[in-house]
């Protein structure tokens, strides 16, 4: 299991056909019959699939196994930004800038397509094999054209600690600047290693950033302004400001993002990923669904089985080619055709030709 949220659990799986790892997001059993939750789950896949961007996780399939829907997405072995912050305490300013610029670029693409993420936080920023930031979890995303639809009306959706004031008041009022606010909090957490602050704690938050470039601190604080009008007008505008400051920061050192003694993720091949658990997901031997179980009991889709070794010498040999079944009627017709042709040839050579040659 990679992680679990309020409505779904994410597992690591291995595609035995393409020989690559994938992430499989499985809707919890307790939500399986909830039409609204299931619709939002399917909507998430549709939203991500409509956004083609190198910093947005890719969806490869959505399906259901015995009535339990799941989404197949990119697997990010680098874990989440939150896990990285927990491990390192905080990120170097240059690393934080590079990460946030990629996330903002992804948000700008979503906003241009009329989609507001509404749940930007370090937990939803993953790192792929090449250490590329990937924005994920569009489960509460809002399509601007769908405002005030029955499924989101008067509901507060998102994570309160990373939610802008206007979104906390009414999720339907969230806009691009709401995502900018959440991105600003993510930048603050990366730089300070501290939890997000409330609006009345702005002065204390500035003190936490005294050790970094004041221009970078000012970008984070402007993005987190309680008033939407005081923030950057777009994700692209915030990214431009970070690019300008980032160009004058010390050279980025990738090794600072990794535990000493280990190779950066860009050098890790699939065989280096730890082996999978015995079952996917755990507990699938039981066919009875459990409402209170922390791990859903779900059969394994045929495409995602236990991971084999990727060493060429240990791969399973390809099964021998099978012959197509023999059709007896076709065989009979072929035999009759052969016999008829033989009889005709014999008659022509032994009867007809001598008769014509006779005087």
Residues noted as catalytic: 119
Q: Find, among 157, 147, 51, 160, the residue nearest to 108 by Cα.
A: 51
| Beta carbons of 154 and 169 less than 8 angstroms apart | no
- Partners of 72 in the β-ladder: 24, 61
> How far apart, in whole angstroms, are the C-alpha atoms of residue 27 and residue 277?
20
Helices marked H in the chain — which ranges? 35-49, 81-88, 93-112, 165-169, 176-192, 202-208, 214-223, 235-246, 328-347, 353-357
Task: Evaluate the omega torsion of the peptide bond into residue 265 and state whether it is cis, within 30 degrees of 0.
Answer: no
> How far apart, in Å, are the Cα atoms of 205 and each of 191, 208, 235, 310?
11, 5, 22, 48
Max Cα distance, the chain (Å)? 127
311 within 8 A of 271, measured Cβ to Cβ: yes
Phi, psi of 29 (to 5 degrees): -55, -40
CB hemisphere CA count around 53 (13 angstroms): 22
Residue 175 CA to residue 164 CA, distance in Å, equals 10
Report the C-alpha gap between 222 and 238 in whole angstroms: 9
Q: Tell me the residue length of the chain.
A: 359
Task: Give dist(CA 63, CA 26) in Å, integer.
Answer: 10
Buried b / exposed e over 64-81, threshold 16 CB at 10 Å, is ebeebbbbbbbbbbbebb
CA distance 164 to 159: 10
Cα gap 197→358, rounded to integer Å: 117
């Amino acid at each position: 299991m990679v992680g679990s949220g309020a409505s779904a659990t994410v597992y690591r799986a291995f595609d035995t056909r393409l020989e690559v790892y994938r992430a499989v997001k499985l809707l919890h059993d307790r939500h399986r019959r909830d039409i609204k939750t299931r619709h939002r789950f399917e909507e998430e896949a549709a939203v991500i699939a409509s956004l083609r961007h190198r910093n947005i996780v890719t969806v490869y399939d959505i399906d259901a196994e015995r009535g339990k829907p799941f989404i197949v997405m990119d697997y990010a072995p680098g874990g989440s930004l939150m896990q990285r912050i927990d491990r390192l305490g905080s990120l170097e300013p240059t690393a934080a800038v590079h990460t946030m610029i990629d996330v903002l670029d992804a948000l700008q693409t979503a906003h241009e397509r009329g989609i507001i993420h509404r749940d930007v936080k370090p937990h939803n920023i993953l790192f792929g094999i090449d250490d590329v930031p990937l924005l994920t979890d569009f489960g509460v995303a809002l399509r601007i054209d769908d405002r005030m639809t029955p499924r989101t009306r008067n509901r507060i959706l998102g994570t309160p600690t990373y939610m802008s004031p206007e979104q906390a008041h009414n999720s339907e009022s969230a806009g691009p600047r709401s995502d900018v606010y959440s991105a600003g909090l993510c930048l603050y957490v990366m730089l300070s290693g501290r939890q997000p602050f409330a609006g009345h704690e702005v002065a204390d938050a500035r003190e936490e950033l005294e050790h970094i470039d004041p221009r970078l601190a000012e970008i984070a604080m402007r993005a987190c302004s309680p008033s939407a009008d005081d923030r950057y007008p777009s994700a692209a505008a915030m990214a431009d400001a970070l690019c300008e400051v980032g160009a004058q920061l010390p050279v980025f050192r990738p090794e600072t993002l990794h535990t000493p003694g280990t190779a950066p993720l860009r050098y890790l091949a699939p065989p280096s990923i730890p082996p999978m658990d015995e079952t996917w997901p755990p507990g699938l031997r039981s066919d009875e669904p459990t409402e209170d179980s922390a791990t859903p009991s779900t059969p394994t889709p045929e495409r995602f089985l236990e991971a084999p070794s990727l060493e060429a010498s240990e791969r399973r040999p390809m099964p021998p080619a099978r012959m197509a079944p023999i059709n007896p009627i076709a065989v009979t017709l072929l035999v009759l055709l052969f016999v008829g042709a033989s009889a005709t040839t014999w008659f022509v050579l032994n009867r007809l030709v001598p008769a014509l040659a006779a005087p």
